């Protein structure tokens, strides 16, 4: 029987997080090369803006990866079907993350779409990595 183990999950989570950080960096630089400026507002009115620091998407992927691994670890301990619960919560969190990207005042639609793309990229890499590679053969 294959099940989730905490030791394997931690390894999978760290690897998926590193891959997500690298993928977000490549995505960020590739979209900037196509002309996206990633200008974010400095105030609530959106009248002043500044370019988004390159470190911001990488820190976001790091936070998501670590939180997802911690959450899945808790589910392994307390949930009967941790994979199903994790997938349900991860999809819900991804959908809610679009509100953050599209709710930025003063940012252009293209910027909002590219930021949402980063959310999807991170969710697929981290969530998929945890679900696929956090399992190992366990004895009953």
- Looking at residue 138, what is its pLDDT? 61
Give the up-direction half-sphere exposure of residue 30: CA atoms within 13 A in the CB hemisphere. 10
Domain of 60 in residue numbering reads as 2-137
Q: What is the C-alpha to C-alpha distance for residues 64 and 124, in angstroms, rounded to an integer? A: 11
- Residues 45-64: tens digit of each pLDDT: 667 788 888 899 999 999 99
- Looking at residue 43, what is its pLDDT? 75
Domains contained in the chain, number: 1
Give the up-direction half-sphere exposure of residue 86: CA atoms within 13 A in the CB hemisphere. 29
- Residues 24-52: tens digit of each pLDDT: 999 999 999 998 888 888 777 667 788 88
In whole numbers, what is the pLDDT of the chain averaged over residues? Answer: 90
CB atoms within 10 A of CB 62: 17
Sign, Cα dihedral of 21, 131, 67, 40: positive
- Residues 78-103: tens digit of each pLDDT: 999 999 999 999 999 999 999 988 88
């Amino acid at each position: 029987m294959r099940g989730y183990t905490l030791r394997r999950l931690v390894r999978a989570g760290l690897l998926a997080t590193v891959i997500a950080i690298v993928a977000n960096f490549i995505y960020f630089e590739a979209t900037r090369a196509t002309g996206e400026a990633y200008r974010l507002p400095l105030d609530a009115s959106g009248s002043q803006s500044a370019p988004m620091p390159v470190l911001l998407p990488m820190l976001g992927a790091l936070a998501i990866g670590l939180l997802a691994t911690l959450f899945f670890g808790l589910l392994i301990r307390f949930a009967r079907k941790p994979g199903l619960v994790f997938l349900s919560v991860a999809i819900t969190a991804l959908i809610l993350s679009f509100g953050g990207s599209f709710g930025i005042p003063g940012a252009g639609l293209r910027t909002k779409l590219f930021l949402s793309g980063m959310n999807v990229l991170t969710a697929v890499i981290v969530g998929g990595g945890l679900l696929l590679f956090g399992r190992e053969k366990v004895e009953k």
